Amino acid sequence: MPLFLIGGPCVIESYEHALFMAREIKKICEELHVPFIFKASYDKANRSSLNSYRGPGLEKGLEILSSIRKELRVPVLSDVHETNQVERAAQVLDVIQIPAFLCRQTDLILEAAKTKKVLNLKKGQFLSPFEMKNAVDKVLSQDNENIILTERGTFFGYNNLVFDVRSIPIMKSWGFPVVIDASHIVQRPGGQGTFSGGEAEFIPYMAKAGVSVGADGIFLEIHDNPSQALSDKSNSLIINKLNEVLATSLRIKKAIEGDSIPVS
């Protein structure tokens, strides 16, 4: 399986910005022959503060994603938070994402699984990798085997996350693609009181670590000006570093698959 990217701004800020980001990311991925899924949330329902920007909402957000999908011919991903969003979202999205905080919400997973769409199940920060098999089984119960699993860190005390590299091979053992979310792993949840902090400088290291232990894809929050991003500004990769992160990750993947320089 070729290394693939799930990437885009954390939240849809406007049609123009989302289209610009999708177009620029697509160019980089095409140059490197990396399959690309554009992601952006139409509603960030789990923001720290009531006053935080959540996005354009379900209808407007899906309209924007549909336009980008058609204009750029790229698959699109966004997350659902309630069962009543699933049917409408499935009409537009190629991949439906179950947020980490909701990965144990049985009704939501079952409703999404019934669409037979690809589901990206993000591992909860509060779960061991072993426990994600329960979420997988819920999807399989609806005769849907279109599953991606994403590792995005584990709570380590207050306002901190760590990446247990064992998560990748553990979840891969179930036979589905596993993704390393290199952006959210460096997040500091609620670390700024009314919003989350993060250490974006470590994103490239997390991406490389994940790929080195077998991740099939990389998940990245990407922005052209992270300091002005309306969500996850502290754990978004600036787009001018994307080529380097992907190129290095591709070299690592090639090496671990046995295509490196022969040893005499």
pLDDT in tens, 131-183: 999 999 999 999 999 999 999 999 888 888 999 999 999 999 999 999 999 99
Regions of the chain where pLDDT drops below 70: 47-49, 51, 190-196, 259-264
Q: In the chain, what are the domains?
A: 4-259 (3.20.20.70)
pTM for the structure as a whole: 0.93
Inter-residue contact 123 to 129 (CB < 8 Å) = yes
Pairing of strands 217-223, 178-181: parallel
pLDDT at 37: 98
pLDDT at 190: 66
Which residue type sits at 133? K
| Run of H or E residues at 11 | none
